[in-house]
């Protein structure tokens, strides 16, 4: 993505530079623009990174056409007409989370929070779109819970108390 290139003229309530994954791997990443138009339609455009011009309209839908939005971290997955569209607000968040340590998770949380994803989630929820988003607090809670269970199992397995 080219973060220094200007966005198209503001015709929207919300706009965000994002990565759109047209396949299942990171090799399918496309520079894109997600837009919530003043006409209450949500659009995703793939963009030419050099000219900042739209190349293709991936979807252009009314809010009622969005069946569900799921996701976690800085990734949202739109379900529209039975098809999934993966949209990432911060690639750095995904990379930081993949480090596998608490510092990486903290950095991932901060990057996701600063990406603007929360504004989009709030807008979708307040306009009646079904959103099932796993928050960073949920991820941390699940991680801590699993750690406690693993430590309890390890403590029980290594106890020297005879049966």
Please report the domains of the chain, with CATH numbers, ordered by start residue.
Answer: 12-134 (2.30.29.30)
E strand spans, the chain: 12-21, 29-37, 41-47, 54-62, 66-72, 75-80, 83-88, 131-134
- How far is it, in rounded angstroms, from Cα 34 to Cα 129? 16
Q: Looking at residue 117, what is its pLDDT?
A: 87
Across-strand partners of 45?
A: 33, 57
Which tens digits make up the pLDDT trace of 92-130? Answer: 666 666 676 677 777 777 777 778 888 999 999 999 999
- Is it the case that residue 137 has pLDDT exceeding 50? yes
- Is it the case that residue 3 has pLDDT exceeding 60? no
Interval 132-149 mean pLDDT: 78
Q: What are the tokens at 101?
A: 């340590």
């Amino acid at each position: 993505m080219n973060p220094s290139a200007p966005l198209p003229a503001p015709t929207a309530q919300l706009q965000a530079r994002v990565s759109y994954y047209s396949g299942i791997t990171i090799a399918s990443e496309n520079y894109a623009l997600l837009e919530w138009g003043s006409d209450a339609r949500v659009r995703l455009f793939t963009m030419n990174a050099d000219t900042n011009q739209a190349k293709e309209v991936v979807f252009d839908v009314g809010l009622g056409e969005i069946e569900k939005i799921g996701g976690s971290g800085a990734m949202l997955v739109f379900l529209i007409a039975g098809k999934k569209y993966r949209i990432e607000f911060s690639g750095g968040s995904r990379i930081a989370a993949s480090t596998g340590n608490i510092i990486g998770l903290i950095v991932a949380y901060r990057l996701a929070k600063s990406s603007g994803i929360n504004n989009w989630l709030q807008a979708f929820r307040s306009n009646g779109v079904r959103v099932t988003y796993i928050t960073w607090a949920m991820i941390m809670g699940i991680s801590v819970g699993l750690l406690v269970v693993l430590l309890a199992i390890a403590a029980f397995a290594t106890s020297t108390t005879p049966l």
